Amino acid sequence: MSKTYDTIIIGAGIAGAATAHVLTQKDQKVLVLDKRGIASGGSGAAGAFVSPKIGKGSSLQTLTNKAFSFAKDFYLSTCPDYFHQTGVVRIPKDEADAKKFSEYEPFNENKYENYKNEQLQEQGICSDFESFYFPEAGDCDAKEVCAFLLSNIEVVQFYVRQIKQEDGLWCVGDYGAKNLVLATGYESDLADLRYMGIKGTWGTRGDFSSKLVLGVSMHQSMSVGANIDGIIKLGATHEKELKEPVPCQEAQALILKEKASSLIDTSDLELQEVFCGMRAGSKDYFPLVGKVIDIPFMLETYPTVTRGAKPEIKYVDNLFVCNGLGGRGFVFAPLMAKILAECIVEDKEVDVSVDPDRLFLKWCRKSPELDTLR
Ligand SMILES: Cc1cc2nc3c(=O)[nH]c(=O)nc-3n(C[C@H](O)[C@H](O)[C@H](O)COP(=O)(O)OP(=O)(O)OC[C@H]3O[C@@H](n4cnc5c(N)ncnc54)[C@H](O)[C@@H]3O)c2cc1C
């Protein structure tokens, strides 16, 4: 083994980069491996808007808004050059949606103002619906944030095809470490993570040059970024039919421009670059952060788990996951990285709402692939 570390992280997207950053702050020696390089997966495609979730109150909304609050403080203190706190206006889609906004109001846990027609017009937004303005929200330069978080950490371009544990050490190629973190996004075949139900949703974003004065970002059924250095980001599509990556499609970015024309004056927008990638989500839209259950052991030792038994869980030694950040990777990653780093270094318990354990028993009982054991 050429070199050993406290922790190896596979995946240099925002999940891996934030985790590496926090572990390094806790004095861990960390190595990050990525098959294509930093932010080469979904993270590089992201418009990376960081804004609260609106709705009628739910545990997912509460977690998202806590993560939002943590994330904006994290980016402002860690990499302020790559976080643009432009504010984000949330605009109702139609009359019916506008009515719901008044029901959402009591659940706006983060700082906000109501924006009426005139304020929207002053900002260059074409909408008659009263909207919410979140002044603390904004967007990240996605690739730059990932690169910055990894700037003092060893990152190697390496396609991990297999992981194995020998004498208490994870061996990945020529590298070794006590702990291994899988932050591989929608690709989750290095360990048995079936119970987590990780799935990808393909998306496209387009960056357009423009002279339009637009000081604020906005979100309706898509996001429109403020004009930063002559570029307006439009994102993102949800192309659910695509199960595997394809080359980025200009046509998808132009659909976004067409859609944006109902919100802003798009007449001088010229497409400069198209980005695309997978968002990796979990079954219940909550992140997946924590230890990995030893599935082969559990099924072999306790086959009755498929019929409702609840045996004590055995984990794979020192194997962890940071995944399932869905369409809000840049919102969730800083808080999830903190939670995971505390689990790895201080053996602190992971919040049950993000611990992948929550999905295990149901998967055992309901998964058709386990029918033969039932
Ligand atoms: C078009 C689009 C727009 C988005 N907009 C926003 C937004 O506005 N706000 C927001 O917060 N989020 C947004 N997201 C979501 C965000 O990008 C994701 O939540 C985020 O990318 C998740 O990061 P990740 O690190 O888990 O995965 P990824 O970024 O996909 O990183 C996984 C990495 O693992 C590497 N890898 C996988 N397998 C291996 C292997 N075997 N060996 C080595 N390396 C491997 C990959 O190369 C990849 O770099 C958007 C996503 C898309 C696609």
Based on the domain organization, do 288 and 356 belong to the same domain?
Answer: yes
CATH number, position 354:
3.50.50.60
The residue segments making up the domain with residue 368 are 3-42+144-198+283-373
> For 281-329, what is each residue's pLDDT tens digit?
999 999 999 999 999 999 999 999 999 999 999 999 999 999 999 999 9
- pLDDT for residue 1: 67
Continuous H helices in 136-219: 142-149
What number does the ligand 1 atom closest to the CA of 185 have?
Answer: 27
Residue 193 shares a structural domain with residue 240 = no
Residue 155 lies in a domain: yes
Q: Is the CB–ligand 1 distance for residue 34 below 6 Å?
A: yes
| Ligand 1 atom with the shortest distance to the CA of 161 | 41
Atom 19 of ligand 1, residue of closest alpha carbon: 329
pLDDT given at position 374: 78
The domain total for the chain is 2
Q: What is the Cα 101 distance to its own chain's centre?
A: 25
Report which protein residue has its CA nearest ligand 1's atom 16. Answer: 329
Residues 295 and 225 placed together within one structural domain of the fold: no
**Does residue 137's CB lie within 6 angstroms of at least one atom of ligand 1?**
no
HSE of 337 in the Cβ direction (CA atoms, 13 Å)?
28
Closest residue by Cα to atom 22, ligand 1, is 329
Q: Are 179 and 222 in contact (CB under 8 A)?
A: no
Which tokens belong to 272?
């400069």
Whether 205 is in the pocket of ligand 1, judged by its Cβ within 6 Å, is yes
Produce one character per residue of 123-138: b if its CB has 16 or more CB atoms within 10 Å, e if not.
bbbebebbbbbbebbb
346: CA distance to ligand 1 center in Å?
Answer: 27
Between the alpha carbon of residue 292 and those of residues 182, 260, 295, 314, 323, the distances in Å are 10, 42, 9, 9, 12
Our answer on whether the CB atom of 325 is closer than 6 Å to any ligand 1 atom is yes
- CATH code of the domain in which 123 resides: 3.30.9.10
Adjacent-strand bridge partners of 155: 32
pLDDT tens digits, 56-106: 999 999 999 999 999 999 999 999 999 999 999 999 999 999 999 999 999
Ligand 1: centre distance to CA 39 (Å): 7
Tokens representing 233? 């980001």
- In the reported structure, the alpha carbon of residue 242 is separated from the centroid of ligand 1 by a whole-number distance in angstroms of 16
Q: Final residue of a domain: which of 247, 277, 307?
A: 277
Q: Please tell me whether residues 299 and 367 are part of one structural domain.
A: yes
Q: Which of 224, 247, 277 is the last residue of a domain?
A: 277
110 & 213 share domain: yes
pLDDT tens-digit series, residues 191-217: 999 999 999 999 999 999 999 999 999
Give distance in angstroms: CA of 130 to centre of ligand 1: 33
The best mutation among 330, 335, 340 to test binding of ligand 1, ranked by most ligand atoms within 8 Å of the C-beta, falls on 330
9 has a pLDDT exceeding 70: yes
Q: Whose CA is nearest to atom 17 of ligand 1?
A: 43
153 lines ligand 1 (CB under 6 A): no
Report DSSP letters for 201-248, one per residue: EEEEEEEEE------SEEESSSEE---BTTEEEEE---BTT--S----
pLDDT band at 238 (very low <50, low <70, confident <90, very high): very high
pLDDT for the residue numbered 365: 96
Whether residue 133 sits in one domain with residue 222: yes
